[in-house]
Structure 1
Amino acid sequence: MKSIVLASAALVVLIALWVALFVTFRSTEQVLFPGGTYQVYPVTDSAVGGFSTVELSQSDSVISARVNIRSGMAYPYAGMGVNLLSIHNRPASGYFDFSDYDSLVIDAETDRMRKIGVKILNDDPVYSQKNDYRSYRPMVSQVQVRKNGVAVSMLDFKVPEWWLAMQGLEKDDGLRYMNRGMLFEITNGEGTMLGIPDEITVRSIKLWGENRTFKALMYVALAVIAAVYAGVVALAVRGSERSVKKRMKKEENLKSRMASAAKLLRESDRSVAEIAIAVGAGSPSSFEKDFVRIYGVKPLDYRNQK
């Protein structure tokens, strides 16, 4: 049973370690702002023929975009963006992979507008062209501004109809290319009043997601730990059963030999040493101890009682 106690102690330690690792690494987080990792830039609709304006100011902890949304196009916009292809003012090694994340959390507030537009621009292998902003596949979501921040599920992002029409697509092709992120933008939302200055203040932009691969591996590890523990317990139980059977067999053999010795003590005048040898009990002293354990008296006393 000592092995079971040791295995149980090891199991407690491993489970505690498993829980600590699981809680620490079960999710993944990426901070787009603050941190100074990515380049921040002003966003206006001038690239698509609009006349909206923006004045962008930035500190280590706050981005402020003072916008004036003007008419002149169907969907005027202005705001701020994060260049995901520029890390510490150097080109990134590849695209930003949004598919690793489940939700987006933005700490933002506005002066007047009730909604903000959140846009992810991805490189479409078919339609996107280098340095052509309009050709990047946009994934957009309109989000209600709240005091406790803005949370957006990555499933809420959709390709706008105007972009599909611009590419000659009659309906959504269902493609997202979230693993080929290039730009991230926050602009005015639907219903923003035209010609009236407004301001978008952003304090943080964070992505959050479940670390699914890690969680799967951790569940496998937990199953292995459980299987090993069960195996150790099973082996210990079998060993204990064998040990008990062995002791019982030894005890039965001893009783049989002592019964033979008792018979010789009653029916013969042979010495204790001779009887010990006859029943295979080893030395006379060992024989005497075994006899006392079975019958409660020494061999000679037993003989005298007959």
Structure 2
Amino acid sequence: MRFVGYLLPGVLALWPIEKWYLDCLLRHSELYAACISEEIFFTTAGQFCNPFLAQIAVGVFLVQLGNLFHQIEITTRCNFSCSYCAGRSMDQQDMDWETFKAIVDGLSPQHQHCTVSLQGEGEPSLHPLFWCMADYVTTSGHTPYSILNGSRLDAARIAATFPRIGISLDTLDASTAERIGRHNLTKVLRNLEELTAVMSPSRITVMSVDMGQPLGPLRAWVRQRGFGRHVIQPLARKDDYARHYGTAIRFTPRRQPESAVRPSSTCRFVQSDLMRFYTWKGQELPCCFIKDTTGIESIPQLKQSLARGEVPPGCSGCSELRPL
């Protein structure tokens, strides 16, 4: 893995083969990535971290054997109140079963095997049909995945249903967790202990958001417990994220430069099938970074708008925008 990290900067200098190399990783690697439009951190249990991988893995959250990565926002409801979460300002709703089923059914036969993540701007396990949805992904021939906040873990069922699972955890300090809005840290850690008693820690990815809190103790704890990955995400700088941040977060969003005429632009998510994100309403988006869907009717329409220099609010300030 470390060798690959050193090799990639040279490989990435050859722009025409970037898509080919990404496809190779998608098919033959178990690399995990967490991306928020600005930076990417990869960390294995051996504490490997290489930002050069950002050039090819932006937008890939979970890379396993399979095709396109699909993320379905089955709920925006959450029992936490994290100050950095855009979902706390959204309508608190669940995706209905008919919408979910239509999305999963639509993945085949075009995408014969996909990783389908039940994950969005809420706590997935709060959806009353969460387990039915996970089972339906499996029976449809796909691999289920999710990222949970650890407050409602059914350890035995998770171990039996998910080949791998993500657990979000930002700190081991109870007062810091409460200040962030992550409640009852003691219960979360206890639930995680129960999960590792029935599921190998190597199958668990710990997801953290870097708000400037001390991360050393958490990194050491992850290594000591033998978790498969520790993914550390920076705060997103896009305006449709940053405008939701609480007053405790001092942050300057990256806004699109104002000008009379904006140049034509595009991004790799619009141009290529790297992933698909489905909002709780069932709207299909090219990535999971768009939190304001104003002015976005479809992916083809978004592509045309960007080509005309019209950047919708949900794409404003995104570092993925590139001139045509």
TM interval, short-chain normalised: under 0.3
Name whichever structure is richer in strand by fraction: 1
TM-score, structure 2 normalization: 0.19
TM-score, structure 1 normalization: 0.20
